[in-house]
Amino acid sequence: MSFWRCMLVLLLFTAGAQLIAAGKESPEKKKGPEEGQMQVKAQTIAFAIHGGAGTIDRDKITPDREKKYRSGLEHALKAGYEILQQGGSGLDAVEAAVRIMEDDPLFNAGKGSVFTSAGTNEMDAAIMDGKTLKAGAVASVKRIKNPISLARMVMERSSHVMLDCAGAEAFAKENGVELVDPKYFFTQERWDELQRVKAAAKNRQGDIKSIITDQELYGTVGAVALDRKGNLAVATSTGGTTNKLPGRIGDSPVIGAGTYANNATCAVSGTGDGEYFIRVAVAHEVSALIQYKGMSLEEAAQAAIDKVGQLGGRGGLIAIDRRGEIAMPFNTSGMYRGHVDSEGRFIIEIYR
Ligand code: ASP
């Protein structure tokens, strides 16, 4: 190679290398940690929870009790929202919020679970990741303090979606989850509720809903989240329905019925007559109406609840979409619910 040829090759090489270097330093390609964080902060986060739908009459609830419900909801809302604010995942947020409500005897989940006709507590729970469509659920568990965390373990540490009864409890043990004495779930209020229902059933005093209020009947808890990475997540946990037959499984742990999340559409958690929610496949219905019919979140959520109502079922749901829109329709007179608005304010509502 001649001297001039060598120089030309060298020149071209240097110019090319500079171009590549310039490309690497272009603003899109190079981000310092601060810039990255700023971008993360600009992402929308959104969070909503429920503590059950039902006939919740202002005049039947004492101010003290209302205050307790509000503070229980606020506690859960805050815990989940803070996780999202700090850049945590939607899954962590929904699990944390639901755990708090499971530990609160006011709600029909975990500690405050209702009794079956046999006087036992049998709990159901499910969690779903909208990014991967992975899901985990447990049903009819009797000795798990926080069923939602076991549901998450099923999702993350097993190849299954749902485990029930003894199998779920054996899986819990293998995974280091401490089993509690079933007595842990005893609350006098829920026990008295069961006795009232049983006594009335014996005397043939009409159906269960005329004996105890829906407020006592429902009370499932749930949470939906949109995290900074744009991922949707949902968690639902319940003690089921008072005086249910042992072994009865409701909608909450059934993916697509009481619980569903898909990043392409929305995350949904339901509460109400589980049998109707299963038959309508409510949570998936909301997602499908958005995906295939192009409905807005609000329209889809309302349409799914209307369908439950048309069959004679009662209840409500909370739903969240990729833009952080929230819908909370219900066909009962109230639903314990909370969300964080676009300005970061905590909104807790009970009545219509
Ligand atoms: N949906 C629940 C169930 O049927 C009950 C509830 O929402 O409180 O198990």
Q: What is the pLDDT of residues 266-308, one digit of tens each?
A: 999 999 999 999 999 999 999 999 999 999 999 999 999 999 9
CA 231 to ligand 1 center in whole angstroms: 26
Ligand 1, atom 4, residue with closest C-alpha: 274
Give the residue, out of 244, 251, 276, with the most ligand 1 atoms within 8 A of its beta carbon, to mutate for a pocket test.
251
Cα dist. 11→6, 15, 16, 281 in Å? Answer: 9, 6, 9, 67
Cα–ligand 1 centroid distance for 283 (angstroms): 13
pLDDT for the residue numbered 28? 36
Range of lowest pLDDT (135-149, 157-171, 189-203, 250-264): 189-203
Residue 229, token pair as written in the block = 């990475």
Which of 106, 107, 220 best tests ligand 1's pocket when mutated (most atoms within 8 Å of CB)? Answer: 220
For 222, list phi and psi in degrees, rounded to 5: -160, 160
**pLDDT for the residue numbered 241:** 92
Average pLDDT score over residue span 97-110: 97
Q: Distance, CA 301 to ligand 1 centroid (Å)?
A: 18
Average pLDDT value for residue range 139-151? 98
Whether 220 is catalytic: yes
- Write 326-329 long-range contacts (CB < 8 A, 24+): 326/46, 326/48, 326/224, 326/297, 327/297, 327/298, 327/300, 327/301, 327/302, 328/48, 328/50, 328/301, 329/298, 329/301, 329/302, 329/305
Burial class (CB in 10 A: 0-12, 13-18, 19+), 19: exposed
pLDDT of residue 207: 55
Q: What pLDDT sits at residue 297?
A: 98
Question: Does the pLDDT at position 30 exceed 50?
Answer: no
Residues 6+ apart with CB under 8 A from 116: 122, 240, 243, 244, 245, 246, 248
Q: What is the pLDDT of residue 342?
A: 79
CA-based radius of gyration for the chain: 25
Sign for the pseudo-dihedral over CA of 112, 113, 119, 123:
negative
Share of the chain above pLDDT 90, in %: 75
Q: What pLDDT score was predicted for residue 218?
A: 66
Minimal-distance CA residue to ligand 1 atom 8 = 218
Query: 25-34, 46-55, 61-70, 161-170 — which one is most confidently predicted on average?
Result: 161-170
3-state secondary structure at position 172: helix
| Cα 1 to the center of its chain, rounded Å | 71
Q: How far apart are the first and last CA of the chain?
A: 86
Q: Is 7 exposed, middle or buried (0-12, 13-18, 19+ CB in 10 A)?
A: exposed
The minimum-distance atom of ligand 1 relative to the CA of 271 is 7
Which residues have a Cβ under 8 Å from the Cβ of 124 and sit 6 or more positions away?
A: 137, 138, 139, 140, 141, 147, 237, 238, 240, 249, 250, 252, 253
Choosing from 220, 242, 271, 332, the catalytic residue is 220
Cα–Cα distance between 230 and 323 in angstroms, integer?
A: 8
Whether this prediction's pTM lies above 0.95 is answered by: no
Mean pLDDT of 328-352: 93
pLDDT mean across residues, the chain: 87
Write down the domain spans for the chain.
46-351
pLDDT at 179 over 60: yes
CA-277 nearest atom, ligand 1 = 1
Which of 174, 259, 260 minimizes the C-alpha distance to 221? 259
User: Residue 205 — very low, low, confident or very high, per pLDDT cuts 50/70/90?
Assistant: low
Question: For 46-351, CATH number?
Answer: 3.60.20.30
Residue list, ligand 1 pocket, CB within 6 Å: 52, 108, 218-220, 238, 240-241, 250-252, 258, 271-272, 274
pLDDT tens digits for range 48-72: 999 999 878 777 788 898 999 999 9
Alpha helices in the chain, H assignment, sequence order? 3-24, 33-42, 63-85, 90-103, 147-157, 165-174, 188-202, 208-211, 214-217, 274-280, 282-293, 297-311
Centre of ligand 1 to C-alpha 66, Å, is: 21
How far away, in angstroms, is 222 Cα from ligand 1 center?
11
Helix (H) / strand (E) containing 349: strand 346-351
Confidence bin at 79 (pLDDT 50/70/90): very high
The reported pLDDT for the residue numbered 219 is 82
CA 240 to ligand 1 centroid distance, Å: 5
Q: Which atom of ligand 1 is nearest to the CA of 220?
A: 8
Atom of ligand 1 nearest to the CA of 244: 9
